[in-house]
Amino acid sequence: MSINVIFSQSDTTYQERPATNIQFLVREGNINLGNVVLNLECSLGSFIVNGQDIGQTTFQTSTDSSGMCTVLIAGSSAGGDGQLTITLHESGQQIGVQSYHFKAVANYTLNFKVIHDNAMADGVQSNKVRAILTGTGSGANIANRNLKLNVTDSASFEKGSAIKATTVTTDTSGMVSFELYDTNKDGEAVTLTGMLDTDQAVNATTPVHFQLNLDCETSPPSDGIYIRSIFTYSINNQLYLLRQRQCDHLVTVHQLLSGGKMGEQTSTGQKWTHFYDLLFPFVLGKEQYIFGLAKNLINTSQVTYKSYWMIAKLDEKGHKEIIDSGYWDNSYDVGFAYANRGNQFIYLHSKDKSSSGGYPYIIQNIHPNGKIGIITDNGHRDDFYEATFSFSIKEKVYIYGQTRVNNAFFIYELDTYGTIGKLTGSGNYDDYFDCQFSYSFRDEHFRSGQKYSNNQWFISRMNKEGTLERSERSMTHGMWDTIYQYQVPFLIDNEQYFIRQNQSKDHWYIRELGINGDMMDSDTDSNNNH
């Protein structure tokens, strides 16, 4: 009488690999053949024995007393078709063949990332969000996949309409960007959820923050003080001046023109969700970036976090695309970005004492893709050096700092790997200058600033060894009409200028700086002309 095999099969996984579980009964006529020794061979994959992959395509086993036997075969993530062949060990007779199929493995992850965050302007505020679908395994397909999205509260997927659900389709890289709009003038945190339309287990949830409606024009600061961040940057050989004011987070960008003139406004009235107490530019490749640090967090508990930071690409209109962001459990008050032999870093320093009793500083690397990197140096200073900047001379980069305590100053070289190098200068001045900056002009290097106690300004020369000339003959000085909290140098058409602005609503001047470290007699432009 012939021997036959009855199969049953189920698909499963083994350590994220496709696998098949094959159970079979060996019979001769109507009799189950127990304790029969069998030789098994699989054409694809390998046998799993006692939970371990033995890495073999052949395996000897036996039926149990009832004639049953179960085997587990695991394949690769590529999937494919195979067959199990069963022969009697004693005679070598083939008694059964069972085909099986491994599905190509596909594991997916869905994430959301806010890339533009704008506060309310013209009655509407919006956040641009990017959905990112990633997949692993040979069966993963992230292109042209539909994602089902939902949002809560006053947010909507369309401007001027209450659209709480929508479907978007990923591009070939698995990404898709979309806009979220909100009309709640008090601000709110809404919840965005999404899922892969064919697999609800692939899902993501994230809070999206909307700022309350702020407007300096209708509700100016009660003390009349307009705090702002201000810097210059260049795109396609055109120089721009960006300002962000604290009272309503409004961003304005103007062209800077030949002759030290303020040009047309290129910004569109956008307001960023955060006001960035620290905001400074840097360049990676041919792209313009900014680093921003906000100490007043939006819709986030400050019990846990002390600051929010972001790195973003910046265009000529002041629109930003956030590349990286996060929260820190400490805060920083002064800082700058600097490049050193192709490496990009940021330096940050805090006015708050740490538990060790010092004033902390860090230097952190920025990757070429704009992502924040590792901390390359950190430590503590004995005092807070509020007036601080970097400058470059003969391919070397230095850091200057002055503290109000005893008017002490230092200059250190910054080395290529993002650490503090040797001390090149230190001492004490007779006075503390509240606002200080450096500039280089036709291979000469200068430091300038203003003392708020009497409005005195100065310009002094810096030596090519990274030291300061401290003699009176190395300095020019004079008196401004008022305190200018914001003083920013810029070079255009090989002529050096700087803009000075105070904390009134709109009081600024541009003046040319001379080649010998002197100040020209008249301003080239001011708010009176605009």
Sign of the C-alpha dihedral, residues 412, 417, 419, 422? negative
Residue at 195 is within a domain: yes
Instruction: Select from 166, 208, 168, 204 the least CA-distant residue to 184.
Output: 208
Instruction: Select from 357, 515, 526, 390 the least CA-distant residue to 442.
Output: 515
Over residues 200-221, the pLDDT tens digits come to 889 999 999 888 888 999 999 9
Query: Hey, which bits of 63-187 come out as E strands?
Result: 68-74, 80-88, 94-102, 107-121, 124-136, 146-151, 155-156, 165-169, 175-182
CA distance 411 to 421: 10
CA distance 302 to 314: 28
Helix (H, G, I), strand (E, B) or coil at 170: coil
Question: How would residue 471 be classed by pLDDT, with cut points 50, 70 and 90?
Answer: low
Confirm if 303 and 268 have CB atoms less than 8 A apart: no
Residue at 180 is within a domain: yes
Shared domain for 66 and 155, answered yes or no, is no
Instruction: Select from 347, 349, 348, 345 the least CA-distant residue to 366.
Output: 345
The CATH number of whichever domain residue 143 belongs to comes to 2.60.40.10
Confirm if 344 and 138 have CB atoms less than 8 A apart: no
Residue at 415 is within a domain: no
Range with lowest mean pLDDT among 136-140, 247-251, 267-271: 136-140
Range with lowest mean pLDDT among 300-304, 322-326, 416-420, 498-502: 300-304
Higher pLDDT, 433 or 476: 433
From residue 428, how far is each of 411, 468, 470 by CA, in Å? 12, 12, 11
Residue at 46 is within a domain: yes
Over residues 313-322, the pLDDT tens digits come to 999 999 999 9
Shared domain for 62 and 8, answered yes or no, is yes
From residue 86, how far is each of 41, 46, 75, 98 by CA, in Å? 7, 15, 19, 9
| Number of Cβ atoms within 10 Å of the Cβ of 117 | 24
Boundary-marking domain end, from 102, 119, 150: 102
Count of structural domains within the chain: 2
Per-residue pLDDT at 470 = 63
- Alpha helices, DSSP H, located in 132-282: none
CA distance 26 to 49: 20
The residues pairing with 517 across neighbouring beta strands, listed in sequence order, are none
DSSP 8-state symbol, 144? T
Per-residue pLDDT at 99 = 97
Boundary-marking domain end, from 50, 75, 102: 102
Residue at 342 is within a domain: no
How far apart are the two ends of the chain, measured CA to CA in Å? 106
Shared domain for 131 and 149, answered yes or no, is yes
For every residue of 185-205, DSSP letters joined together read TT-EEEEEEEEETTEEEEEEE
Show the tokens assigned to 144.
């042209």
Residue at 194 is within a domain: yes
In the predicted structure, residue 247 carries a pLDDT above the cut 50: yes
Over residues 84-108, the pLDDT tens digits come to 999 999 999 999 999 999 988 888 9
Mean pLDDT throughout 308-312?
Answer: 96
Helix (H, G, I), strand (E, B) or coil at 333: coil
Shared domain for 48 and 76, answered yes or no, is yes
Shared domain for 129 and 90, answered yes or no, is no
Residue at 143 is within a domain: yes
Residue 244, H or E segment:
strand 238-245
Higher pLDDT, 69 or 469: 69
Shared domain for 206 and 156, answered yes or no, is yes
Mean pLDDT throughout 500-515?
Answer: 95
Shared domain for 72 and 154, answered yes or no, is no
CA angle 431, 435, 385 (to 5 degrees): 70
Boundary-marking domain end, from 182, 210, 238: 210
Shared domain for 56 and 118, answered yes or no, is no
CA distance 340 to 362: 16
Residue at 36 is within a domain: yes
Confirm if 497 and 524 have CB atoms less than 8 A apart: yes
Domain span including residue 18: 3-102
